[in-house]
């Protein structure tokens, strides 16, 4: 049943030679890797206004200059990462670029920053999507966290089905969002320029809680820089594109930057012209759409497209996070399981890890976008700075053709992103950015600890020069609680190994021990039975001591413990038994040179054998009855050796 359900949800496994067919083209690639960047249009302007409104209505006009500064930053970062795509055709994420050109520690720092940013991207985009949904349907507000978790699970499931399939599924909604946003901006600009719309004054004008200072403007700029998250995902996922992968990725990156610039500046201009005041009950995009179209079907199309793209923004992280985690795992900085491709040719373990971690964040922060935003953008701008600095070092070291232009572009990118990183860190430090500042070094230390572990294991497992393989005798021990079919099955296996076999019974009851000895003598098995007294009724203690004593006789020899274990026909029945086999297995795991062999006897198979035996006995009795003349009393004469109970026992 589990196998059938897995195939239904994820699809049939794909062979490794299908890897090239799972790559995506430019149109699907733009939908896969641009959804994160494009989705920031829905909340970046709002975050700027939320910071400026602290100065009251005096701060709101500055939304346009701050937006222009962020728009220039978008193009600087895009051109910088375009160089990275062309120079690293096998994937030029910040981790690879920084590690190759600046060293291991900067590379791990960039990797930690990106991993944190990917997790936050899922949490922020999903909670923002839920906020857009609740703006249209306020009665759903109590289910904010539940809705967010459901969407995370759905997107994770779609990505487990494969990159090409999830990309094709998400491409339509992404382009619907782009078209609807351009329609909103176009209609809004037309009606504004022709005088067909008059800005509606806000119902509540917030009182100023602080003065309009340079620090407040820088804080608004730092909040709006969330619009740049997701730009680096294209450089991280070059290998997902069809050939020529690097050129295709560079084109997708520039298309993303152009769309992002136009949409972000359009929404920001409309917010400025409409004199939008941010509200915790309705998003900025919802207010703009409401004033542009009214609360008609066009408004609901905008809202639907907005919360769908915000949900799909998580899809970018579900493509970037597993790929980055697989690179770190391949280099030994994360568990090896994250480097394994699943049966749908995706890094399934990374997808599951991202979904679970983002879900925990949503629960902890109760689905609040504004509570998560202060943690956002720190990691991505740190990764930007390290990546662009690495490219500068690469251009300077190699001096390849066109290096002067390349080093100029990446130098501007590195300097700009470093300045923005400093501003964001200072402006958001007391709001929660300190959490990321503390978390990143801890992650880097954990990466290095994992690498030390793997190197230590490799050192301990390394083969020295071996001329011959020494062989020592193995002693086989079979714990016997009592005689039943499961024990006989284990004994048969142990005797077939061709090694000395010792059956051991831990006696908690003298009467039971004496009964077992009588049964053992009748069994005539070629293995001695040893009775271990247990005055304190411990089952594992005496047996462990017995195993240790045998192992001490020859430190190089193996002791094989064959554990009989019966498996109930239904999982509920397992709770009706004392699970002594599991306790014994757990206790013996830490013993050197002790080999554990579990011989399972399935009670479901025993039931089937019993049914077959009954049928065979009934058929035999019927056959005898048909071939034997009836007596005067009408009862067939059946020989004693073929009576029902005897036949059943033989079966």
- Residue 449 has what pLDDT? 94
Unique residue bearing structure tokens 């005798």: 473
pLDDT of residue 651: 30
pLDDT score for 442: 94
Residue 589 DSSP label: T
Give the pLDDT score at 583: 76
Nearest by Cα to 505 from 479, 526, 534, 484? 479
Q: How far is CA 134 from the centre of its chain?
A: 27
> Are residues 492 and 359 both part of a single domain?
no
| Residues 6+ away with beta carbon under 8 Å from 437 | 378, 425, 429
Please report whether residue 27 resides in a domain.
yes
Q: Note the pTM of the prediction, 2 decimals.
A: 0.71
Q: In the prediction, which pLDDT does 560 show?
A: 92
Please check whether residues 451 and 504 belong to one and the same domain.
Answer: no
Q: Are residues 326 and 385 in the same domain?
A: yes
Give the confidence band of 200 by pLDDT, cuts at 50, 70, 90.
Answer: low
Pairing assessment for the beta strands 501-507 and 529-533 based on DSSP bridges: parallel
Question: Quick check: is 1 in a domain?
Answer: no
**By residue range, what is the domain housing residue 561?**
474-606
Q: Where does 62-162 have alpha helices with state H?
A: 63-87, 94-101, 104-136, 144-160
Among candidates 311, 330, 318, which has minimal Cα distance to 356?
318
Q: What mean pLDDT do residues 383-391 have? A: 88
The answer as to whether 644 is a domain residue is no
159 and 59 part of one domain: yes
For the cut 70, the answer to whether the pLDDT of residue 63 exceeds it is yes
Q: Would you say residue 197 lies in a domain?
A: yes
Residues 450, 359 share a domain:
yes
Residues 211, 214, 217, 219, Cα dihedral to 10°: -100
Q: Are residues 545 and 417 in the same domain?
A: no
Residue 2 lies in a domain: no
Note whether 446 and 481 are same-domain residues.
no
For residue 18, what pLDDT is reported?
64
How distant, in Å, are the alpha carbons of 476, 485, 547, 635, 639 from that of 644? Answer: 39, 21, 45, 14, 10
**Domain count of the fold of the chain:** 2
Question: Is residue 461 in some structural domain?
Answer: no
User: Of 133, 124, 134, 131, nearest to 361 (Cα)?
Assistant: 124
Query: Domain of 393: which CATH number?
Result: 1.20.1740.10
- The pLDDT value recorded for residue 542 is 87
CA distance 230 to 227: 8
Q: Is 88 exposed, middle or buried (0-12, 13-18, 19+ CB in 10 A)?
A: buried
Tell me, what CATH number does 596's domain have? 3.40.50.620
Same domain, 145 and 217: yes
Q: Which of 590, 606, 622 is the last residue of a domain?
A: 606
Res 253 pLDDT > 80: yes
- 488 Cβ partners below 8 Å, 6+ apart? none
Stretch 516-541: mean pLDDT: 85
Q: Among 32-36, 520-524, 554-558, where is mean pLDDT lowest?
A: 32-36
Q: What is the pLDDT of residues 284-336, one digit of tens each?
A: 888 888 888 888 888 888 888 887 887 777 877 888 888 889 889 999 999 99
- Tell whether 387 and 510 lie within a shared domain: no
Of the residues 455, 487, 508, the one at which a domain ends: 455
Residues 446 and 482 in one domain: no
629, part of any domain:
no
Q: What is the dihedral of CA 63, 64, 69, 74, to 10 degrees?
A: 100
Q: Which pLDDT does position 643 carry in this prediction?
A: 37
Shared domain check, 254 and 304:
yes
Q: Which residue in 595, 523, 538 sits closest to 563, CA to CA?
A: 595
Name the domain boundary from 455, 490, 508. 455
Q: What is the pLDDT of residues 107-164, one digit of tens each?
A: 999 999 889 888 888 888 788 778 777 877 888 888 888 888 998 998 888 888 876 6
What confidence score (pLDDT) does residue 402 get? Answer: 78
536 & 444 share domain: no
Distance (Å, rounded) from C-alpha 189 to C-alpha 283? Answer: 20
Separation between Cα atoms, residue 138 and residue 135, nearest integer Å: 6
- Secondary structure class of 249 (helix, strand, coil): helix
Q: Is residue 622 part of a domain?
A: no
């Amino acid at each position: 049943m589990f196998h059938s359900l897995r195939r239904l949800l994820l699809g049939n496994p794909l062979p490794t030679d299908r890897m090239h067919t799972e790559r995506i083209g430019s149109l699907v690639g733009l939908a896969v890797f641009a959804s994160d960047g494009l989705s920031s249009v829905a909340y970046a302007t709002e975050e700027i206004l939320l910071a400026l409104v602290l100065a009251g209505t005096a701060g709101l006009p500055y939304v346009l200059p701050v937006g222009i500064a962020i728009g220039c930053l978008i193009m600087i970062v895009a051109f910088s990462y375009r160089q990275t795509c062309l120079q690293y055709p096998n994937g030029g994420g910040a981790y690879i670029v920084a590690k190759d050109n600046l060293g291991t520690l900067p590379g791990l720092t960039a990797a930690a920053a990106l991993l944190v940013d990917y997790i936050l991207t899922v949490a922020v985009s999903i909670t923002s999507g839920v906020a857009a949904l609740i703006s249209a349907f306020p009665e759903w507000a109590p289910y904010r966290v539940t809705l967010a978790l459901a969407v995370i699970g759905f997107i994770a499931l779609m990505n487990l089905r494969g990159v090409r399939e999830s990309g094709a599924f998400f491409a339509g909604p992404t382009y619907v969002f782009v078209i609807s946003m351009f329609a909103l901006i176009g209609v809004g600009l037309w009606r504004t320029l022709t005088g067909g719309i008059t800005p509606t004054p806000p119902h509540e004008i917030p009182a100023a809680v602080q003065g309009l200072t340079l620090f407040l403007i820088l804080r608004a700029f730092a909040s709006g820089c969330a619009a740049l998250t997701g730009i680096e995902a294209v450089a991280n996922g070059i290998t997902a594109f069809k050939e020529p992968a690097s050129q295709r990725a560079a084109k997708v990156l520039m298309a993303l930057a152009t769309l992002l610039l136009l949409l972000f500046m359009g929404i920001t201009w409309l917010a400025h012209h409409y004199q939008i005041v941010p509200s915790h009950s309705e998003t900025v995009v919802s207010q703009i759409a409401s004033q542009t179209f009214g609360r008609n079907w066009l408004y609901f199309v905008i809202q639907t497209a907005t919360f769908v793209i915000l949900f799909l923004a998580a899809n970018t992280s579900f493509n970037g996070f597993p790929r980055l985690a697989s690179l770190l795992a391949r280099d030994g900085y994360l568990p090896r399981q994250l480097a394994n491709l699943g049966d749908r040719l995706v890094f399934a373990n990374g997808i599951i890890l991202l979904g679970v971690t983002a879900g925990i964040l949503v629960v902890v922060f109760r689905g609040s976008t504004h509570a998560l935003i202060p943690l956002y953008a720190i990691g991505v701008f740190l990764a930007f700075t390290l990546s662009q600095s690495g490219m500068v070092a690469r251009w300077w070291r190699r001096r390849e053709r066109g290096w002067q232009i390349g080093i100029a572009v990446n130098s501007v990118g590195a300097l700009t992103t470093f300045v923005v990183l400093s501003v964001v860190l200072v402006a958001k430090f007391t709001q929660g950015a300190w959490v990321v500042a503390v978390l990143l070094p801890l992650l880097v230390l954990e990466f290095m600890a994992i690498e030390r572990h793997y190197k230590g294991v490799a050192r301990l497992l390394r083969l020295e020069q071996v001329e011959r393989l020494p062989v020592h005798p193995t002693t086989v021990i079979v714990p016997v609680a009592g005689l039943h079919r499961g024990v006989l099955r284990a004994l048969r296996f142990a005797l077939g190994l061709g090694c000395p076999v010792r059956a051991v019974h831990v006696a908690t009851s003298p009467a039971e021990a004496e009964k077992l000895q009588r049964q053992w003598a009748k069994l005539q098995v070629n293995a001695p039975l040893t009775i271990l007294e247990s005055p304190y009724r411990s089952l594992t203690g005496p047996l462990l001591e017995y195993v240790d004593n045998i192992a001490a006789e020859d430190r190089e020899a193996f002791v094989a413990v064959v554990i009989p274990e019966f498996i109930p026909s239904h999982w509920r029945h397992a709770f009706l038994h004392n699970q002594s086999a599991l306790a014994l297995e757990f206790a013996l795991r830490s013993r050197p040179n002790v080999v554990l062999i579990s011989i399972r006897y399935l009670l479901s198979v025993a039931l089937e054998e019993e049914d077959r035996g009954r049928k065979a006995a009934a058929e035999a009795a019927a056959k005898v009855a048909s071939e034997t003349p009836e007596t005067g009393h009408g009862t067939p004469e059946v020989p004693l050796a073929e009576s029902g109970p005897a036949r059943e026992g033989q079966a």
